[in-house]
Amino acid sequence: MKTILKTFTTLTVLLSIISCQNPQEKKTEELANNYVKFVDSVANIDQEQAIENWDAIQKMNENKTAELNIEVDKLEDKTQLNAKIDSATIKYEKCQLRLMELKSKYDSENKAITMRKALFGNDYVADDLTFTWVNKNNILSVYEKFTTTVTQNKDSYSRQEWDQLKMLYEALDNRKNTVEKQGLTAADNNKIATLKFKFGPMFMVNRMGAKSEENSEAKE
């Protein structure tokens, strides 16, 4: 009997607390709870999916927090709700930082692949720069594609990109040393030598120009 009375008393207290909440408090608490659930869903979503849809997620977060802040400002006692909202906000910001770091990494990798495909054509294979797909029959066309693309875009490359271009070119040269032993014709070899003679000065002049521009921008 005492247990029943104790339980009844507890329920009565809880019901009285709930009944004391005015409509504004109920509305704001519901919004806060929904925001917490939203943040939890963002934290648990697949990372690649989150990165792909980040603009939409960020927009949704802005809308939810804006609406929530308007309603919280209408309350007299904001302490408990602010603590709940602040905790969710910190969790969201940590998640955002982690995803942005991954996005920057993915963007950099995708940019590198896009540049290499532009330089070497659709036949390019990401094989750790061993260029095993290059042989005596296609190596001249690979050099021609590379040199033509660099010539067309030489004014748009940054200093870091010129360094990447040099690394790629040297890796292709290493492959040529192997291909020469596999029957590369003298005619193709001479044409490649002409292309290499063209690339060398172009690399030096344009890399220096890109570095000079970066230094000027840094001073400004």
For the chain, give every domain's residue range.
25-108, 121-219
Give the pLDDT confidence score for residue 212 in this predicted structure.
Answer: 60
Q: Is 193 a residue whose pLDDT tops 80?
A: yes
pLDDT band at 20 (very low <50, low <70, confident <90, very high): low
How many C-beta atoms surround the C-beta of residue 15 within 10 A?
10
Res. 88 pLDDT band, cuts 50 70 90: very high
Residue 213 confidence class, pLDDT cut points 50, 70, 90: low
Average pLDDT over residues 4-29: 59
Q: What average pLDDT does this structure show over 103-122?
A: 87
Look at the block and give the residue holding tokens 């890399």.
207
Highest mean pLDDT among 10-24, 89-103, 200-214: 89-103
Global pTM reads 0.60
User: 42 and 89 in contact (C-beta within 8 Å)?
Assistant: no
Query: How far is 144 from 192, CA to CA, in rounded Å?
Result: 8
